[in-house]
Structure 1
Amino acid sequence: MTAETPAPQGGTGQGPSEHDFIYDIHDRPAAAAWLPLSAQHLFAMFGATILVPFLTGLHPSVALVSSGIGTLLYIVLTKAQIPAYLGSSFAFITPIIVATQLAGVSGAMVGAMTAGLVFVVVAFFIRTSGIDWLMRLLPPIVIGPVIMCIGLSLAPVAVKMAMNDPATGAYSLVHLGVALFTLVITIACNMYFKGVLALVPVLFGIVSGYVAALVLGLVNFGTVLAAPLFAMPDFVLPGINQPFTVSLSAILIIAPVALVTITEHLGHQMVLSKVTGRDFLRKPGLHRSLLGDGLGTMLGAFLGGPPLTTYGENIGVIAITRVLSVWVVGGAAVLAVLFGFLGSVSALIQTIPTAVMGGVSMLLFGVIASSGLRMMVDRHLDFGRKRNLIIASVILVIGIGGVELTVGESFKISNIALATLVGLLLNLLLPGRDAAEKGGSLFQKTEA
């Protein structure tokens, strides 16, 4: 989800001083503390990271490996100066599903690589031209409704998973009961847990729903008992063990969504800068963090994992624990890679009933949509202005209604990508743009 907090204006005065931290960015914890500190980050990202491949038909074990390797690459490319974790991005769920139907898994992964390439290209332009042009390209009146579309267009997926028996496709009161129980537990954990535990409501919800499904006989442990302790994940590897399928439709469906996750990336960099008292947009620079995110996504997609994004959950762990160490974040990445090679863990993840994931998704997808609404509210966008009303209205109808642009059998742009592109064009072409931007810049400071 997109964060809204403004970047600090310098290394001091806007965030905690380095003396407030238990471990600073380059501090290496003792071995006894290192493992539990890294495990906290692993738990914070685990539920969401495995949910994306679960929904898109990719392999959870590959997603864990790709997120871990992508995070390690990110740390290297940012000169080990930004303690951020990269996990599976929710923004690409629908595009990957549609692209896989059109071009197969290999074609979808090549399309995901192009999304990472968009990050790399934007990083290059920021390196040479600064950030002002990006601010004008991604105003809240475009990105806010697009984020709402991402969440709301996924609502039918969550509902079907929650109330249908996957074996028959028919309505099941038992499955719906498990989904609602999972939803209630997730909400309760989110509302009433304190400290670090407040950052893992998704994981608690999944575990609780899994136990309920186990009691009701919806879980089959046969594959877990038969699984080897160590197993090679089912890597896709386009051009090696899969054909390197270049599908224009898959690229046009997936690549434009990178503009949304670039906005998410910016928001997270601002929040993390405020939490740590640094200005990561200047040092090591936004171009380096975007490059790390983009190349991490490209490498992850080559392995067969979903596109990656910086995780707000892990930023929350840093804020609560006051542990900034990139060694800790890197340790979590190594643990994720190790988990991906544990065959029993992979088999266990795949026994999670769809009803459990449906229950969690009912909250998560709604939160995504609400975060887009929050962006527009926080920026005080005036919908009495015809310009704002028109842009938001068209984006919402195209995105939620499922409008697709199809030409022949090999050219297709999905609803989310089309809504993003139409929104950008309307923002550029409709009059009153300068006046609108003065009152609603994506990066202006929000009043507390």
Structure 2
Amino acid sequence: MSTPVKSSPFRWTLHGDGKNISAGTVVGPQERLTWPRTIGIGAQHVVAMFGATFLVPLLTGFPPSTTLLFSGVGTLLFLIITAGRVPSYLGSSFAFIAPISAAMNQHGMGGALGGLIMAGAVLFLIGLIVHKAGTHWIHVVMPPVVTGAIVALIGLNLAPTAKNNFEQAPVTALVTVVAILLVTVLFRGLLGRLSILIGVLVGYVVAVLRGEVDFSAINDAAWIGLPAFHTPEFHISVIGLFVPVVLVLVAENIGHVKSVSAMTGQDLDPVTGRALMADGLATVLAGSGGGSGTTTYAENIGVMAASKVYSTAAYWVAGIVAILLSLFPKFGAAIATVPLGVLGGAGVVLYGMIGILGVRIWVQNRVNFANPINLSVAGVSLVVGIANFTWIVGELQFEGIALGTAAALIIFHGMSAVARWRGTEPVDSAEDEGVKPSKLG
């Protein structure tokens, strides 16, 4: 890989003639096409992030327009802090859905926002350490078996929420699920990647026809104005809900940087710490005003891979467009009318997918479950997370996500230490002997 020169987040060189991309080349982060083409690609990024970014506030009860505003502002902040070297959109993180929902039940929106600020601050500090010391220590603390377990239990912990919403309007919810699944296999490219957004739109139409949508909030909303802001509150009891999510955000950000690095041929490892710090600051900023916590979006990697344009100029366009859209209250009010049945259908698919992302981490890293330590880590932490075990200590309340995360870390490092001491550490072979590959490899 080539090491990029020092760059500015506000300066790009024109790629070729600015109109065409020759075979075997890509438009790098510090390059751009002509501005009309760049604006068009930026609009594609808005479409790609739209469904997921809005789905989080809908599922958690946060104001959609406020979340959109802070996602746009966070994206611009990210581009500045990473010096325009990492093309990324900071959208709403699904990992925050469970802790936000739990904190809302305990302390309302203010308590949830305080938790977001705490999580963002911890992520910033980890980014600062990574910037100084590199990422090796993260892989030692969180090997794939631990990371996969944490991601899986965060998604599967939400299963009861999906069930409760589904039961509010089973017919509408079922149509939403079927629509999402069909769009996934009927279309390729951008439409296929927007299956959840399109499925929600189909479910919404069905809900309207069944009289399940209340449009009064749209009529009462103004055409132009600032979104609703909310003040955070800080409660010690939510620490256990939000801090484990930071581990997921670390994995997502590092994975995003490595993916872009591989696709552009640039060594972006030196800016990994900056990326983590930027996401942490963006989450702190969102929590300070009423937005959802942020993360780098994999949805937009698909747009870049399809277009071969990795220009950060397109992300400036996307961030500015998101900010402008947030200033139309009627738009946000319309998004907020999506009924529970539709959200339940989307949640069944979405929460399951989050859970399976953890399994994908195990598969991609060939985690050997013939090793009893790995088996114990995954098995115990998933049961704790899915069953939502709860431990109350004074004002502190630790629920399934926090306890499951702690279980994964303690079991892995504890069992490994004892096994090394006793000389009983399992031989962790790359793969089981005698296993024939499936059609899927």
Asked if the contact 1:379/1:439 (under 8 Å) is kept, the reply is: no
Match of 1:84 among 49, 71, 88: 88
Match of 2:77 among 48, 73, 88: 73
Q: How does 1:316-355 map to 2 (within 5 A)?
A: 316-355=302-341
Match of 1:362 among 335, 339, 348: 348
Name the aligned partner's letter for residue 193 of structure 1. Answer: F
1:329-386 deviations in Å (ceiling 9; x for gaps): 1111111111111111011001111111221221111111111112112222222222
Q: Say whether residues 1:288 and 2:282 are aligned partners.
A: no
1:382-404 deviations in Å (ceiling 9; x for gaps): 22222112211210111111112
Asked if the contact 2:113/2:288 (under 8 Å) is kept, the reply is: yes
Counterparts in 2 of 1:374 and 1:28: CA distance versus 1, 3 Å: closer
C-alpha separation in 1, matches of 2:367 and 2:310:
35
Name the aligned partner's letter for residue 75 of structure 1. Answer: L
Asked if the contact 1:395/1:422 (under 8 Å) is kept, the reply is: yes
Match of 1:423 among 399, 405, 408: 408
**Offset at 1:127?**
2.2
Asked if the contact 2:304/2:310 (under 8 Å) is kept, the reply is: yes
C-alpha separation in 2, matches of 1:151 and 1:386:
24
Q: Say whether residues 1:260 and 2:248 are aligned partners.
A: yes
Asked if the contact 1:26/1:325 (under 8 Å) is kept, the reply is: yes
Secondary structure of 1:40's aligned partner: helix
C-alpha separation in 2, matches of 1:404 and 1:250:
13
Secondary structure of 1:412's aligned partner: strand
Q: How does 1:23-422 map to 2 (within 5 A)?
A: 23-164=27-168, 175-238=169-232, 245-282=233-270, 285-408=271-394, 410-422=395-407
Whose relative contact order is higher, 1 or 2, with alpha carbons under 8 Å and at least 6 apart?
1
C-alpha separation in 2, matches of 1:272 and 1:196:
18
Q: Normalising to structure 2: TM-score of the pair?
A: 0.87
Name the aligned partner's letter for residue 267 of structure 1. Answer: G
Counterparts in 2 of 1:436 and 1:105: CA distance versus 1, 3 Å: farther
Name the aligned partner's letter for residue 173 of structure 2. Answer: A
Secondary structure of 1:279's aligned partner: coil
C-alpha separation in 2, matches of 1:365 and 1:83:
27
**Offset at 1:210?**
1.3
Asked if the contact 1:158/1:362 (under 8 Å) is kept, the reply is: yes
Counterparts in 2 of 1:235 and 1:29: CA distance versus 1, 3 Å: farther
**Offset at 1:30?**
3.6
Counterparts in 2 of 1:216 and 1:93: CA distance versus 1, 3 Å: same
Asked if the contact 2:26/2:264 (under 8 Å) is kept, the reply is: no
1:75-95 deviations in Å (ceiling 9; x for gaps): 000001111011111111111
Name the aligned partner's letter for residue 237 of structure 2. Answer: S
Counterparts in 2 of 1:213 and 1:436: CA distance versus 1, 3 Å: farther
Secondary structure of 1:142's aligned partner: helix
Segments of 5+ residues of structure 2 without an aligned counterpart are 5-15, 431-439
**Offset at 1:414?**
2.1
C-alpha separation in 1, matches of 2:63 and 2:347:
18
C-alpha separation in 1, matches of 2:183 and 2:269:
33
C-alpha separation in 2, matches of 1:111 and 1:336:
24
**Offset at 1:106?**
1.9
C-alpha separation in 2, matches of 1:61 and 1:183:
25
Counterparts in 2 of 1:224 and 1:28: CA distance versus 1, 3 Å: same
Asked if the contact 2:368/2:428 (under 8 Å) is kept, the reply is: no
Counterparts in 2 of 1:384 and 1:28: CA distance versus 1, 3 Å: closer
1:237-262 deviations in Å (ceiling 9; x for gaps): 43xxxxxx321111222122201221
Asked if the contact 2:98/2:158 (under 8 Å) is kept, the reply is: yes
Asked if the contact 1:139/1:437 (under 8 Å) is kept, the reply is: no
Asked if the contact 2:124/2:281 (under 8 Å) is kept, the reply is: yes
Segments of 5+ residues of structure 1 without an aligned counterpart are 1-8, 165-174, 239-244, 441-446
> Percent identity of the aligned residues?
35
Secondary structure of 1:87's aligned partner: strand
Counterparts in 2 of 1:214 and 1:22: CA distance versus 1, 3 Å: farther
Q: Normalising to structure 1: TM-score of the pair?
A: 0.86
Counterparts in 2 of 1:10 and 1:395: CA distance versus 1, 3 Å: farther
Asked if the contact 1:147/1:368 (under 8 Å) is kept, the reply is: yes
What value does the CA root-mean-square deviation take over the aligned residues?
2.3
More off after superposition, 23-32 vs 316-325? 23-32
Asked if the contact 1:404/1:414 (under 8 Å) is kept, the reply is: yes
Count of residue pairs brought into register by the alignment = 411
1:179-232 deviations in Å (ceiling 9; x for gaps): 111111211222221222222112211111111222222223222233211122
**Offset at 1:439?**
6.5
